[in-house]
Amino acid sequence: MKIETGKYRHFKGGEYEVLYVGKHSETQEEMVVYRALYGAGEVWVRPLSMWNDSVERDGKSYVRFTKIEDK
């Protein structure tokens, strides 16, 4: 699965920018490196395998992150 750099919206509404896709140094698992586009702009890492997961909340299914266009 390939993840493009750029802006994404989390299913809860927050916006993030994907900076890189890298590899975990011990397991070689691909990881998405991204930063929040709000608050202090913290940088986060999430396994690539979780990036496009579906999430169920209140009986509804959501894609965890959706790519959004730059404005």
Spatial contact of 46 and 53, defined as CB atoms under 8 Å apart: no
Q: Each residue of 8-42: pLDDT tens digit?
A: 999 999 999 999 999 999 999 999 999 999 999 99
Q: Sign (positive/negative) of CA torsion 18, 20, 24, 30?
A: positive
Spatial contact of 35 and 41, defined as CB atoms under 8 Å apart: yes
pTM for this entry: 0.86
What is the pLDDT, as a whole number, of residue 9? 96
Domain assignment present for 1: no
Mean pLDDT of the chain: 93
CATH code for position 19: 2.30.30.320
In angstroms, the CA 16 to CA 53 distance is 16
Half-sphere exposure of 63 (CA within 13 A, CB side): 8
How many distinct structural domains can be found in the chain?
Answer: 1
Q: Which domain holds residue 44?
A: 6-67
In angstroms, the CA 42 to CA 49 distance is 21
